[in-house]
Each structure stands twice: as C-alpha cells, then as structure tokens.
Amino acid sequence: MNVMAKAEKKISSAFIYFFGSFGGILFGYDIGVMTGALPFLQADWHLENAASLVGWITSAVMFGAIFGGALAGQLSDKFGRRKMILMSAIVFMVFSVLSGVSPDMGEASAYYLIIVRMLLGLAVGAASALVPAYMSEMAPAKARGRLSGLNQTMIVSGMLLSYVVDFLLKDLPGEWAWRLMLGLAAVPALILFLGVLRLPESPRFLLRKGDEAQARKVLSYIRKNPAEIDQELASIKETAKEERQANQKTSWSTLFNGKYRYLVIAGVGVAAFQQFQGANAIFYYIPLIVQKATGQAASSNLMWPIVQGVILVVGSLVYMWIADKFNRRTLLMVGGAVMGLSFILPVVINWMMPNMNPMTIVVFLCIYVAFYSFTWAPLTWVLVGEIFPLAIRGRASGLASSFNWIGSWLVGLIFPIMTASMPQEAVFAIFGIICILGVIFVKTCVPETRGHTLEEIEEQGTNHGRVKASNPEN
C-alpha cells in the first residue's frame, strides 16, 4: 500500500494535465482524417456522384458521437471520468482498426463503413464530453481557461496530425492510402489508454462519492498551497451538502428546472452554435471546396488541410496565451462577428465583382479559421467544462456534447448536398448569418465565467433563476 502511495505521489501536475486533455487528439484525428481519405475512398468505391452517401460516410462518426456524449456523461457520474476515458480509448482502438479493414463488397462496403464509423463515434463523443469535464475539475479557477484550452490544442494537433498523415500517404495506391489513414487512428488511442492508466480520478467526483481522503490527495498533486486545498475542499463539500439537504434526485428533467435552466441553456446553446456556424464544413471538405473553386482534383489539394491545421494549432496557442486575460463573452462575440463577415463578404464581393478570383473564398475561409481557432473553438469546451453545476455536470456536459455533435453531423451530412445544388458562396453566407445569431445569443444568454470558481458560477446561475422566478415578465 505504501509503495502504491509513493508511486501515486510521483504523478506530476504536467502529466495529469497532458494526458487529461490527450483525449482531444482522438477527437481531432477523426475530424481531420476523412478530409484526406475521402478523395481516395470516392475513387476506390466509385462514389464521385453519390453526394448523400459521401455525406453519410463523412458524418457517421458525428452521428454516433451524439449518443456517445450523452451516454458517457451519464455514466461518468456513476463510474468516474477516468474509467470512462479508458473505456473510450478501447472502443476507439477497436473501431479504428475495423474502419481500416473495411471489406470490398461493392455498395455494401459503404454501409459497413457507415455503421463502423457510427460505433467509432461513440468513443469520439465520449471524449468530447469527458475531457472538458475532467480538466475543469482538475484546474484551479485562475488558470482554468488556459488549462482547459489544452483540450482544444490537443484537438487541433490531432487534426493537423491527420492532415500530415494524409499528405504523406497520398502517393500510395488508392485503396492502401485511405485504409492506412483511417486505421492509424488506433495509435493515439493506445497512447491515451496507457497514459490515463496512471491518472487520478477527479477530486470533485471522489468527494461526491464520499472519499475525502483521496480527493485531498489528488488536490495535493495539482495545488501547491495547503490552504488552497482546504478552501477548495470546503467549497465543494458545501455545495454537495446543499444538494443532499435538498434531497435532490438528478434526472434529465432536473436540467431544466428553475435552478439550473439558465446555465444549461447557455452551455448547450454555445455548444450547438459552435457547429452550426459551419467550421466543420471547411475541415471535412476543404480539398473538395478548393476543387470546386479552381477545378483542380481534390486529391492534389491535400496541402490546404495542412495550412488550415497549422492555423488552428497556432490559434490554439494564441488562445492559451490570452485565455485568462480577456472575458469569455468578449472573445466569443468578437470571434463570431469576424467569422460571420468572413462568410458573408465573399458573396458581397462576388455580387459587386462577378469576375472575382475563385480563390478569394479560400482566403476568407482562412480568416474564418484563424478567428475560430482562438475564440469559439476552445471557448466552447471551456464553457461546457465550467458552466454546469456539480449535481448535473455529467448529464449537462453530455447534453451539450450531443447538441454539438448534432450540429457537426448535420453540417457534414448536408454540406455536399447543398454545394451540389447552389453556389458555394451562398452556402457559406447561410453559415455567416448563423455566426451573427451566435453573437446575439452570447450577448443575451451567456454569463461571464472567467476567474470564478465552479461554485461561484453555480451560485450565479441559481440567483439568475430566482430573479426570473420573481420577475416572470423578464
């Protein structure tokens, strides 16, 4: 027992934060890998004119993630964040390999791959819900934005990794290229599994289960000041005591009672807007977007995803630098406004200058990606991780993740269909309008959370609910 205790004490805070956020690599890799695999898959299975089938193959992971996020969020309240992250890594490994060995059975191959990628999506959705919750519960309030932003850095690093892998494998025979691209996703999943084996459980989860001694030990790994540990434990215990005194049984309906409704709508709304703004249309289909704009074959445009990936990684690092220097709401509103204009301006320019260079839209897409990378991309997951009260955090994080994936799935599914029936500029203009609506939503419905403890954020939401109850006309 003493040997185990000594081994546990060797776990550094850097190790905890690195592998606590490493699940984002899986999330990012599978977002990005189909970008390069799709042109080869289309050629190998003769799907060039099957827009709906291409949409389903691309979006199948997101469809599975809708359910994976909700299921993992609920189970993590019962079994813990750490155990569910381990389970997600196993599921990801298995179905990544099965994707790479898809049998060649004509049209049936596409349906096999769709089903396998849906099951793979369970793990991707679980990671998207569990990692922000785990990181927010481990990080101190003053650094929570920056440390939770590690999740976004991992996500975009996973995307960039997949783009580079796609580029390096593009000269292989078509069938081998896309199979290796999809199958190699099992490698980061294995690394995650091995790393998380040494991670401790979240102190808030441990305390909720009555294990104060272990919760204190975990906090000692990541908090240097004993007084800070005592204060944080006392704050968490007080919140848990109030919940027990109320004899509250958490259910899905609990999320929308007067006490929690405001914070749940804010968190879920931001998560949904992030995807309906159209970012993943760029990430999934940028080679096809460039092909439609220039006429060049999509398989020869695999450098563009790398450009987008580099912008995303640099943006995530910029975010970590500014995360705790600017209010969350300010960054979301500024980012959303520029993103909306980046989608709408090409339509205006094309209307005023019919002979506009077709690559102009790609330039504006790069501007969109740059602002998305240090505003909506990381802040969505920071807010999801910190805005929900402890009593509902697992369920609410899962619900937010599911709405996020519903948006991602729909964008991935309908974008090739929309671009087949209308100009690309018009499609992006629709996304631009949604970006502006997102800015309005943040302005009117989202509270500021920077610098507040999780318990202070919960109190803020509770007070808002009381005000609404006493002033129903508001």
Distance CA 162, CA 174 (A): 17
Q: How far is residue 70's CA from residue 45's CA, in Å, rounded to a whole number?
A: 33
CB-CB contact of 15 with 207 (8 Å):
no
Distance from C-alpha of 164 to C-alpha of 309, rounded to nearest angstrom:
9
The CATH code belonging to domain 12-470 is 1.20.1250.20
> According to the 3-state scheme, what is the secondary structure of the chain?
CHHHHHHHHCCCHHHHHHHHHCHHHHHHHHHHHHHHHHHHHHHHHCCCCCHHHHHHHHHHHHHHHHHHHHHHHHHHHHHCHHHHHHHHHHHHHHHHHHHHCCCCCCHHHHHHHHHHHHHHHHHHHHHHHHHHHHHHHHCCHHHHHHHHHHHHHHHHHHHHHHHHHHHHHCCCCHHHHHHHHHHCCHHHHHHHHHHHCCCCCCHHHHHHCCCHHHHHHHHHHHCCCHHHHHHHHHHHHHHHHHHHHCCCCCCHHHHHCCCCHHHHHHHHHHHHHHHHCCHHHHHHHHHHHHHHHHCCCHHHCCHHHHHHHHHHHHHHHHHHHHCCCCCHHHHHHHHHHHHHHHHHHHHHHHHHCCCCCCCHHHHHHHHHHHHHHHCHHHHHHHHHHHCCCHHHHHHHHHHHHHHHHHHHHHHHHHHHHHHHHCCHHHHHHHHHHHHHHHHHHHHHHCCCCCCCCHHHHHHHHHHHHHHHHHCCCC
pLDDT at 106: 67
The pLDDT tens digits of the residues spanning 384-395 come to 878 887 777 767
Kindly compute the dihedral angle of the four CA atoms of residues 125, 154, 203, 121, in this order, to the nearest 10 degrees: 10
* pLDDT score, position 96: 93
Q: How far apart are CA 169 and CA 81, in angstroms?
A: 35
What whole-number distance in Å separates Cα of residue 388 and Cα of residue 267?
7
Tokens of residue 108, six digits = 């049936």
Q: Which of 464, 344, 415, 443 is CA-nearest to residue 58?
A: 415
Report the pLDDT value the prediction gives residue 110, as an integer from 0 to 100.
Answer: 86
Residue 472 phi, psi dihedral angles, 5° rounding: -60, -20
pLDDT in tens, 115-168: 999 999 998 888 877 877 787 777 776 666 666 667 778 888 999 999 999 889
- In this prediction, residue 198 carries a pLDDT of 87
Per-residue model confidence (pLDDT) at position 147:
66
Determine contact, residues 283/275, Cβ cutoff 8 Å.
no
pTM, whole model, 2 decimals? 0.77
Domain boundaries, the chain: 12-470
Q: What angle do CA 334, 283, 425 make, to 5 degrees?
A: 70
Q: From first to last of its 474 residues, what are the pLDDT tens digits of the chain?
A: 343 344 345 577 778 888 888 888 887 888 888 888 888 888 888 877 777 888 899 889 889 988 887 788 778 878 888 889 899 999 999 999 999 998 877 677 889 999 999 999 998 888 877 877 787 777 776 666 666 667 778 888 999 999 999 889 988 886 888 899 999 999 999 999 999 888 888 888 888 788 888 888 888 887 777 777 888 788 777 766 665 554 455 677 778 777 788 889 999 999 999 999 999 888 888 887 887 777 676 566 788 889 889 999 999 889 888 877 888 899 999 999 999 999 999 888 888 887 777 778 888 999 999 999 999 988 887 888 788 877 777 678 778 877 887 888 899 889 888 888 888 888 989 999 999 999 999 999 888 888 777 677 777 766 665 545 444 444
- The residue behind tokens 């690599």 is 25
Task: Enumerate residues 6+ apart whose C-beta is below 8 A from 317.
Answer: 153
Predicted confidence at residue 396, as pLDDT, reads: 84
CA distance 420 to 127: 33
Side-chain-side CA neighbours of residue 100 (13 Å): 19
Q: Measured between alpha carbons, how far is residue 330 from residues 326, 378, 422 in Å?
A: 7, 14, 34
User: What local confidence, expressed as pLDDT, does residue 5 receive?
Assistant: 42
